[in-house]
Structure 1
């Protein structure tokens, strides 16, 4: 691929991408083709249409599929195991009852959202979502109504923190590429992220959650609803198990940052050991092992029972993992076609105000490619020199960083692996996923951009 040069024009590439997305939607929605088959077929057809060398197509498809599975499969699998252990022991129900007693029935979505804001600060979206999901499902079962009423505010909180704040990859990349201050980015990022979540995640999430009736899925728990357990674990036990992966992952983040700044030796065991046990899959693995003992073996369950329990937890998630991987495959084909570079070069010459062009370029690249990280790095690479040469003060620079992050989170759709992950974990069809998750992410993007613009204007005075 290094020697291959795309000869198609930007309009031609954009047309191919739009047609591919339209065909994919028609296949899934109109003709009821299974999403996995539809994604693979459209990915192959798009690769041929964009003239990716035939000898490279297989590698592009497999690499895109494999890279996505490498991030998703273990997280979803281990998360499903933890969820089933928490549910079958009665621990998830005990914690949900405690939350409801503390905050009340009507404020349960708000309480879950606030908890997710706290969890989402140090922890990546996918890991925190898988940890929180069993608790959210348990609260939804306890109170009744659509599961979306409880999931959407919490998922939006996790996503908002992931979008705007270091140590999450997009925020870190944009801060580094634009020469921003990490501490100032965190401080102003919180000021932008919290009201963004409240408007886009909580208000819209509860609004649409009340209007779309979606039952709590059995998918993650590996079975139907569990009857009340006579002697469930204490809520504090479940909180400790929830905090375990978060503490491990946060320790990884802390020592990595210290090593990067020279505070700690990068080769020291004080750095390397937390980095290993604090990597997301290992942290979740440790949590599952500890949970197996605390929630099952110590409570009299046999090893055979636990093996069967965890095996059943994994069976329903295979479609989720495969479809998510296929979504990553489609995104990889669009990326390999060169559409991102072509679009970025065209958009850079529009002559718009710098903060507006930053948002538009990041947003269009995100919609076209389905990956926030590539949208951020490409946009920052194109605009970084202009931004750093504009004589911006530190607060204005942070406003540009947050604008870039906001643009890169807009409107996830069928070329985005997270679109399929959220939709399938919650048992939503494609139109429902558009009306819920895609709209919430778009609102997060727009509200975040607006608040970043306010910060920029205030800093300019």
Structure 2
């Protein structure tokens, strides 16, 4: 247990203080824990390789394809089309709510920082047009994106936790969406409440968003997001007995609803929005997606390696003997992830590290069932929201692209992330009472 704490401390110290890439921090932690419990070096290397390979086996294609879908949607302008459509339906008087909903939908396939950058121009234009405070609009958009980023695959943290804990992706997506809605609303209402007390000047540069030429239709913009979610989600609730003959149409549907195939279908639909095909443009898009996914994959792989080391040292048994985890239940995954998130800043690193620690503790926590594992991942997702502040890269993306000062960000956005995490934990606790 001492070396487990040391391993976690090293991850936080190296990533938060020395700004060392999370891959190397996790790899160093593997050796600190392994050597601390007197594992032979050869065994440490073997176990870390196996852990890295296992997580790549289950997540590699999903992360690469999910990243590609997000990059293509950004390039084609589909995200802005969706935002404009939602704004027209809700009305300019409710522009902050429109931006929250836009962030929620756009954030399903796109990472929160990328989504915010893509939509920041539209957000500035709406601030000038409606006269609504920049802080209210910006935090509404940011929290909408953030709510799904922490809870739902194919976002890397949630996907890695689902793979490590053993949770069906489809069920996590559908239940995660339902859990993320209250978090989004809390973020929106806090932005409106706290933001009205802060006076922000309208942005000096508000580029005009022209959606009249070379943009996809509303249908083509939404389909690449909705079709994969529907396909993956429905499959999870279909019970097919082993050995039973399946109709041909059902076999086709089962293949299409595999997460890898479903995301590939989403990418094809997203490419349909490109009016003029150009091999150079397509090549650059795919190159960008592959490079972006590579940075995520090495972190996830190192997280899998760290988890394998913890499993080999039987840390779960030692912790369960020392602490009455049964009494903590669903609260423990939240607390652990929240501490990691607040200390080192990255939601992805926090939930990947926490899932490696939580996995062997599931029996002691009373969460070693299909429903219990699902709730554990959602609880860690809630913890990974709490608390976003100055050591979080997303915090600075919001501040930089919105022109907000540090005090305003801490008062409105950071507090919003705290309330979002606590709200999500509350929803997960209610689900645990109903479902278990």
Alpha-carbon distance, 1:60 to partner? 5.1
Map residues 3-402 of structure 1 onto 2, 5 A cutoff.
10-28=1-19, 38-50=21-33, 51=35, 53-54=41-42, 55-56=45-46, 59=49, 62-63=52-53, 66=56, 69-85=60-76, 87=77, 92-105=79-92, 107-114=94-101, 125-126=108-109, 136-137=119-120, 139-140=122-123, 142-143=125-126, 145=134, 148-159=138-149, 162=152, 190=178, 194-199=181-186, 201-204=187-190, 228=210, 230-233=212-215, 237-260=217-240, 262=241, 267-296=246-275, 301=276, 303=277, 306-314=278-286, 316=288, 320-338=292-310, 341-342=314-315, 345-347=318-320, 350-351=323-324, 354=327, 356-361=328-333, 363-364=335-336, 370-371=351-352, 377-384=359-366
Query: Contact 1:411–1:442 (CA<8 Å) still a contact in 2?
Result: no
What is the deviation of 1:75?
A: 1.5
Alpha-carbon contact 1:248-1:278 (below 8 Å) kept: yes
1: CA distance, partners of 2:166 / 2:51: 31
* Counterpart Cα distance in 2 of 1:206 and 1:333: 43
Deviation at 1:363, TM superposition (A): 3.7
Q: Deviations over 1:259-286 (max 9, x none)?
A: 34x5995754333322333344433433
TM-score by length of 2: 0.64
Hey, what's the Cα distance between the residues in 1 that align with 2:175 and 2:290?
40
Task: Rate the CA distance shift 1:367–1:330 in 2: closer, same or farther, 3 A.
Answer: farther
Contact 1:344-1:379 within 8 A present in 2 as well: yes
Question: Unaligned regions of 5+ residues in structure 1, if any?
Answer: 1-9, 29-34, 217-224, 389-396, 414-418
- Give a deviation string over 1:199-223, Cα, whole Å, max 9, x none: 2x33456789999x9xx9xxxxxxx
Count of aligned residue pairs for this structure pair: 384
TM-score normalised according to structure 1 size = 0.61
Q: Decide whether the 8 Å contact of 2:336 with 2:383 is kept in 1.
A: no
Q: From the superposition, tell whether residues 285 and 174 of structure 1 become closer, same or farther in structure 2 (CA, over 3 Å).
A: closer
- Which segments of 5 or more consecutive residues in structure 2 lack a partner in the other structure? 128-133, 341-349, 386-390
